[in-house]
Amino acid sequence: MDTTAAATADDVLDDQPVRRALDALDGLTWLDPFVTLVRRGATATALDPVRNALRGEWLGHRLHPALVQIPIGCWSSAAVLDLFPGERRASSGLIALGLLSVPPAALTGWIDWADLPPERQRAGLVHSAANLTASALYTASLCARLRGRWARGRVLGWSGLAVAGVGGLIGGHLAHREPGEADETAQADAGSGTAV
């Protein structure tokens, strides 16, 4: 593999506004009291065998990335069905199924979050807040649909999907951006005289 090409691609990405915004989440030190509070709860909630099972050690892969596909898939499919008349029941069913799949996805996410370094836990907290907001929007969407307010339900659903997309973007950043990578890039650029 050509590491020069990979380094060049990372250098290009480091200069992108979205990448810089995502990297900035790690520096939100005002979140530290919340991180400390949540960390206590996340590490005290499960015994080691349970925690290891929720991490996916029995599978050889973290469970959270696989489990989040269920709500994302259900809600994305519901958003498409909302574009077609006569698909209200199917769309509502997918939203309900997505909501039912949130607790196991969230639980495994919190187990993974507890293993992150503290600065990455800040971004993880923002990721969780986005996903909680998306779940609340989908809950409101389902309630509106059950009351016959289909237009409101669709708007709330599409809003929930947009927020879930932001949460997913942050989750991808957590999974694929190495801790400290942004700082190392900035230090290397500073040493070479390159503006960051």
- Interior CA angle at 87 toward 83 and 90, to 5°? 120
Q: Give which of 178, 193, 190 is closest to 13, Cα–Cα.
A: 178
Q: What is the reported pLDDT for 93?
A: 97
Cα-based torsion angle of the residue sequence 20, 23, 24, 25 in order, rounded to the nearest 10 degrees: 140
Q: What is the reported pLDDT for 78?
A: 98
Report the C-alpha gap between 21 and 170 in whole angstroms: 10
> Does the predicted TM-score (pTM) go above 0.85?
no
Q: Give me the tens of pLDDT residue by residue for the chain, a chain 196 residues long.
A: 555 555 555 565 667 888 888 888 888 889 888 988 888 777 765 567 777 788 778 888 888 999 999 999 999 999 999 999 899 999 999 999 999 999 999 999 988 898 888 889 999 999 999 999 999 999 999 999 999 999 999 999 999 999 999 999 999 998 887 655 444 433 333 343 333 3
Report the C-alpha gap between 9 and 19 in whole angstroms: 12
Token pair 């942050």 in the structure block, residue: 170
**CB neighbour list of residue 176: distance below 8 Å, 6 or more residues apart:** none
Q: What is the reported pLDDT for 190?
A: 36
